[in-house]
Amino acid sequence: MKLGRSVKRQLGVTLIELMITTAIMAAMSLVSMAFGTGWVTENRLIEAENQLVVAFDKAKSTALRNRYGKVGGSAASTVCLSNQIISVHEATSAAAASCATTAIWQADLHERISVSAGGTSLSCLCVTSKAELTATGCGSCATTTSLNLTMGNDNVSISLL
């Protein structure tokens, strides 16, 4: 004999349960995006640092090879940064290395990364046949290997030595 109402089994989920689950998923997504953005920025700065180190090492090895016999403070090779492209240039038989001579290596920097040396935007580094930095005949080229990389609010200080 049955008394009262019959008990029905609930199928599916209620609207409240669905809304709570959706809110939890949205909060988790926002937190993971914040961590992901920081990770991407950090990796782009590390990539830029590695590209600058490779460029400077390539410039030093090219300068030490000194294929065109540049002597004194004359630049045997140059690292140039223009339009987010890092390039290494070699001297010619007629002229010291500059950003106008032949590029022997290049790499792209991410568009949001800026590079500075001594508080001013980096345009070039000139290297002598003794693998030392020089300003002789290099115009506004930096004479320091201490650089700052900036992307948004993140900064990294590096030394190319």
pLDDT tens for 115-128 read: 999 899 999 999 99
pTM: 0.80
3-state secondary structure of 38: helix
- When pLDDT is cut at 50, 70 and 90, the band that residue 137 belongs to is confident
User: Can you list the domains of the chain with their CATH numbers?
Assistant: 15-159 (3.55.40)
- The answer to whether residues 94 and 70 touch, using CB atoms and an 8 Å cutoff, is no
- Alpha helix (H) ranges present in the chain? 15-65
pLDDT of 65 reads: 95
**Phi, psi (deg, nearest 5) at residue 30:** -65, -40
| Tokens 């988790």, located at residue | 28
Nearest to 124 by CA among 151, 147, 155, 94: 147
- The answer to whether residues 66 and 82 touch, using CB atoms and an 8 Å cutoff, is no
- The answer to whether residues 117 and 147 touch, using CB atoms and an 8 Å cutoff, is yes
pLDDT tens for 86-121 read: 999 999 999 999 999 999 999 999 999 999 998 999
CA 95/CA 13 separation, integer angstroms: 78
For 126, other C-beta atoms within 10 Å of its C-beta total: 31
Average pLDDT over all residues of the chain? 91
- When pLDDT is cut at 50, 70 and 90, the band that residue 66 belongs to is very high
